[in-house]
Amino acid sequence: MLLLVYQPLANYTPGLTAFGDFPYFYTLAQQADQGKLIYRDYWYEQPPIIGLLLQGAYLATESHGGDFSTYTVLLVIVLTAFDAGNLLLLRRIGTRLYGPAVGIGLAWVYMLLAIPLIDSFWTFDCIVAFFTLLAVNWLLAGRQISSALANSLGALTKLVPLLLLGAVWRFRPAREALRYTAISGTITVAGLGAILLIGGPYGVPSLTAQFTKASAETVWALMDGNYKTGNFSANHFDPAEAARLQGNPPAIPAWLRTGVFAAIGLFIFLRTRRRDARGVVAFVAITFALFCLWSANWSPQWLVWIIPLALLNFPDFNGLLLCVTVSLVSLVEYPLLFAHTTGEIPHSSVPLFALLVSARTVLLAGFALSLYRKLRIPIVESEG
């Protein structure tokens, strides 16, 4: 898998960063040389923690020349620290669910998988995974306020960790769930509100860019005829460019797709019978799986969220097989299939592209179905 990603070619940034977002991050952060800062002087499509990290890393290396290699090394050190946290949290949660032998075994498996290492040289999703796992760990330990704080920090990295609120409402009393939601929601809104205060005309585009993005690398994208990777306009200095669709419009309205998956989610919510700690982790996992199936976009780095949850729910050969298979399918799709394109699949490769996207979708759907079966087992955690 590392050989699929490592591309020492003249027309790419060499090494593991070749197909990741680091060159994009670096190009934006370089605007600081002209006194332009993220959110204030141009729009950026992610919440503030990542924006501040990317800008801060460049400012920290600026005195040493601010070259790409120095910038990358600093970012990778930070991201590797978060990924080490993921490994420790995986061991801790695995130990809580199955005992110390399984906990350390899961940590070894995670350490030897390729995707977490690749993600540390591509983008920041290991931070999203860290705060999600931290919130789950504290939720299982009964530390509701700490879990809510971790959840909000995850949401200020990428909004996806807010999916954890579904498990909170399903497995905790309404009063606790309301307090948890209030804490997490208040901090998240405050952090996003800061972008509006700082950004001026770039504030709203920074918060809404993700919601106007064209579909990419999903079955929904195949229906739309978007045989490409997801991207945004290269012009980050024009607020209107944040909403400019970089592809074909959706063939199936977003409201219809959302309504169908909301109904599926409600069905699972009402039909869940398992009430122990393993049920909590399974519910979190199925929520993330359904999100990936619902989303009009896909990125291979999202596997950094899925892999720990897959291992925690299936700490056996089945879990390992899922992680390896879905990783291989995703990396053959991107970057291998996209390696010598301009970001769009040529017509001759569309059938293979469609096959890979469909295979990954089937794997995620099978994962969700297996989790649903686990959630139907009527087990209540012992209070002793």
Tell me, yes or no, whether 34 lies in a domain.
Answer: yes
Tell me, yes or no, whether 3 lies in a domain.
Answer: no
CB of 42 closer than 8 Å to CB of 28? yes
Q: Which of 17-26, 86-95, 236-245 has the highest mean pLDDT?
A: 86-95
Boundaries of domain holding 302: 12-375
Tell me, yes or no, whether 274 lies in a domain.
Answer: yes
**Residue 384: pLDDT band by 50, 70, 90 thresholds?**
very low
Tell me, yes or no, whether 163 lies in a domain.
Answer: yes
**Residue 127: pLDDT band by 50, 70, 90 thresholds?**
very high
Tell me, yes or no, whether 111 lies in a domain.
Answer: yes
Please state at what angle helix 144-155 crosses helix 125-140, rounded to 10 degrees.
170
Per-residue pLDDT tens over the stretch 286-345: 999 999 999 999 999 999 999 999 999 999 999 999 999 999 999 999 988 887 777 788
Model pTM score: 0.93
Give the residue-averaged pLDDT of 252-257.
Answer: 94
Per-residue pLDDT tens over the stretch 154-209: 999 999 999 999 999 999 999 999 999 999 999 999 999 999 998 889 999 999 88
pLDDT the model gives residue 383: 41
**Residue 8: pLDDT band by 50, 70, 90 thresholds?**
low
Per-residue pLDDT tens over the stretch 37-88: 899 989 999 999 998 899 899 988 887 777 888 888 899 999 999 999 999 9
Tally of domains within the chain: 1
Give the residue-averaged pLDDT of 104-118.
Answer: 93
Tell me, yes or no, whether 342 lies in a domain.
Answer: yes
**Residue 232: pLDDT band by 50, 70, 90 thresholds?**
confident
Tell me, yes or no, whether 197 lies in a domain.
Answer: yes
Tell me, yes or no, whether 4 lies in a domain.
Answer: no
